[in-house]
Structure 1
Amino acid sequence: MRAAVLQSIGATAPFVASTPLVVEDLELDEPGPGEVLVRVEAAGLCHSDLSVVDGTRPRPVPMALGHEGAGVVEALGAGVDDLAVGDRVVTVFVPSCGACPPCAEGRPALCEPGAAANTAGTLTGGNVRLRRPDGTPVHHHLGVSCFAEHAVVHRRSLVRVDPELPPEHAALFGCAVLTGVGAVVTTAQVRAGESVAVVGLGGVGLAALLGALAAGARRVVAIDLDPAKRDLALELGATDTYDAADPECVAQVRAATGGGVEHAVETAGAVAALETAYAVTRRGGTTTTAGLSHPDRTMALQHLSLVAEERTLKGSYVGGAVPVRDVPRYVELFRRGRLPVDRLLAPSRPLGEVNAALDDLSHGRVVRQVLVP
């Protein structure tokens, strides 16, 4: 089967010239115990893919990229008895073991064996099911590797969804929607009538904005560098938008909201964006970050404001989700028109255009793209 394989990390844009990803013919093993073979129907591009390409989050190579996908079950490994051939499934990029301390506490996004496998580029249990025709192993990206025609993944990396859900829509629920909506409703626990600011209006940020609206926020402030994304935020229901590059941005938001918002959510993956989010949060408010910046980046935090203003700063990984619970809930909200995540999609592209799609993503020309193998 064909897959887009990352040859080395540290490539620079334009990616159509540096070609970090090459579509290759790979050998794919049959699913082992606890594993599932999925025919990939759609795979979303995310900054988490880009961060591996440019070296922000190093991973072992060669690696078949892609972690936000949807497809159809084609074969089941031994012991998988709760899925059937023909089921439509969404991939989840942190497989949960169900037994480690975070899993036992109901926090599967922090699964310790899952994190270890993702770092090593394997499936849960250390298995590698991809290889080149000469026998060279090809690593798995976040247990999924869905920039491909097929993928073998662990059962715990999949959530069954309504078969009538279009695959290009379904794919978004495995990352953008789980992360963005979850950061608002699960991690920040925004309540009806509260005010929210979202800093960074990519796929995750706009999903967070939609989550704030679905939660009943009375005011939703959208902050970004890109005027087109700010315009889209207004179309989706934001009450106010501000230019993150404006030196007066923070002062304007605080003045307009009477001292700041009760909740600010940062999704840009940049320290400057997190500093903005913290600065527009009111006394007693909560700042939540779902962005992933380079591991060398640090933020200077005024200790006095954290204590004297009783501020809260929280991290949110995969939106603090319990995927088997949250994906069906968010899908139902989408079907009822409460989470119109289809508005975030650019036209789908074939797998062979993956490098051009990465260029569009890195330059902010699109919100969310989907590759169709």
Structure 2
Amino acid sequence: MAPENVPQHMKAAQISEPVPTIRPHELLVRIHAAGFCHSDLQTLQGQFKSPLGMIPSHEPAGVIVQVGAQALGSWQVGDRARDGRLPARRRLCGIHGRRPGHHGQAARRTVARAGGAADVRGHLGVQFAAARGFRVVAADSRAAGRQLAMEVRDALQPSLVVDSSLPQEAEAQIMQLTDGEGLAAAIVCTDSLPANAWALKMLRIGGFLGVLGLPPQDWRFDSSALVFRELTVRGSYVASKASTQRMIDLAESTGVRSHVTTVSFDKIPDIVDMYQTTSMKGRLVVKVVEG
């Protein structure tokens, strides 16, 4: 076929599968929504060498529609369920609210001393840290991210918002806020090596760096800073059931809210481009069931 005759679009096969039949000890959950995050993008790009046939999204949420006769626990049809990747016994999300605005999402542990300042990337992290009484610095290289940090309710807004694409200017602002000491802790949600190295540089003596990103390259940190300033670097994957429950209780009592951008199921082919735009805000969620 001549190049000029190659079509611009192709039609892929779609396979409909029957709804699975559960075994006596199993539950059947109908997925209502599923999140798309950076690890999904990394899987798509082949970083994790995942086998073909994998169903994307590790952040599903839905409703239990069948309970096996021998299923352990107090499961009931109609219970809301979420991703069960918790080290403790896998259970429901914990929120059964009937009013709009209820949202459950796993939170990363934030470590900072009372009275200190913490740099927390991610608008949920900003709110949770502020709700715990910390002075919070929100850092983002994107204007949309910085704007989102300032759109949270007044009581949960950060003390300072800096543009991390201007590191020298951002550093000066942070040092002014902390009287030259630096940050007690920084939680970095991006896998950018320069961003994590910069966050480490912003820590005070004895500071803590929480690493949430998973880059294809090995991490590289300033060994002199780690040793002479006695810094701690710790990775985090998921929260425990107990930590998640504390997060849910704090969200309900203080009004922490997640900014969610929803797309319909038929718009799935567009979500990768949407996710990678610099104007993207908050969590990108596909609505599997409308209404």
Q: Which TM-score applies when normalising by structure 1?
A: 0.66
Q: Which residue of 1 aligns with 2:4?
A: none
- CA offsets 1:12-60 (integer angstroms, 9 cap, x no match): xxxxx999x9864223422335431101122222112222112222211
- Matched with 1:222 is 138
RMSD, matched Cα: 2.7
Map 1:12-27; keep pairs closer than 5 Å: 24-27=15-18
Q: Does residue 1:80 correspond to 2:72, yes or no? A: yes
Is 1:52 aligned to residue 48 of structure 2? no
Instruction: Determine whether 1:306 maps to 2:214.
Output: no
Equivalent-residue separation in structure 2 for 1:352 and 1:214 (angstroms): 37
- What do residues 56-112 of structure 1 show as CA deviations (whole Å, max 9, x unaligned)? 2221111111221221111123333421111112223x354xxxxxxxxxxx5xxxx
Q: 1:161 aligns with which of 91, 94, 102?
A: 94
How many percent of aligned residue pairs carry the same amino acid? Answer: 27
Question: What amino acid is the match of 1:161?
Answer: G
Number of residues of Structure 1 aligned to a counterpart in Structure 2? 272
Cα distance between partner residues in 2 of 1:37 and 1:18: 37
The SS at the match of 2:254 is: coil
Structure 1 residue 197 corresponds to structure 2 residue 119: yes
CA distances 1:298-348 after superposition (whole Å, capped 9, x unpaired): 233232221221111111111xx222x23333233222234222xx112x2
Partner of 1:322: 240
Whether 1:251 aligns to 2:171 is: yes
Q: How does 1:1-373 map to 2 (within 5 A)?
A: 24-32=15-23, 34-77=25-68, 78-92=70-84, 94=85, 96=87, 108=88, 157-164=90-97, 169-170=102-103, 172-173=104-105, 178=106, 181-184=107-110, 188=111, 190-199=112-121, 205-217=122-134, 219-236=135-152, 237-249=157-169, 251-256=171-176, 257=178, 258-294=180-216, 297-318=217-238, 321-323=239-241, 325-341=242-258, 344-346=259-261, 348-364=262-278, 365-373=280-288
Q: Distance in 1 between matches of 2:270 and 2:48?
A: 21
Which blocks of at least 5 consecutive residues in structure 1 are unaligned? 1-16, 97-107, 109-155, 200-204
Q: Higher helix share goes to which structure?
A: 1
Higher-Rg structure is 2
> 2:271 is matched by which residue type in structure 1?
A
Deviation readout 1:193-246 (Å, 9 max, x if unpaired):
2210124xxxxx2221112111110x2111111112112212320111221211
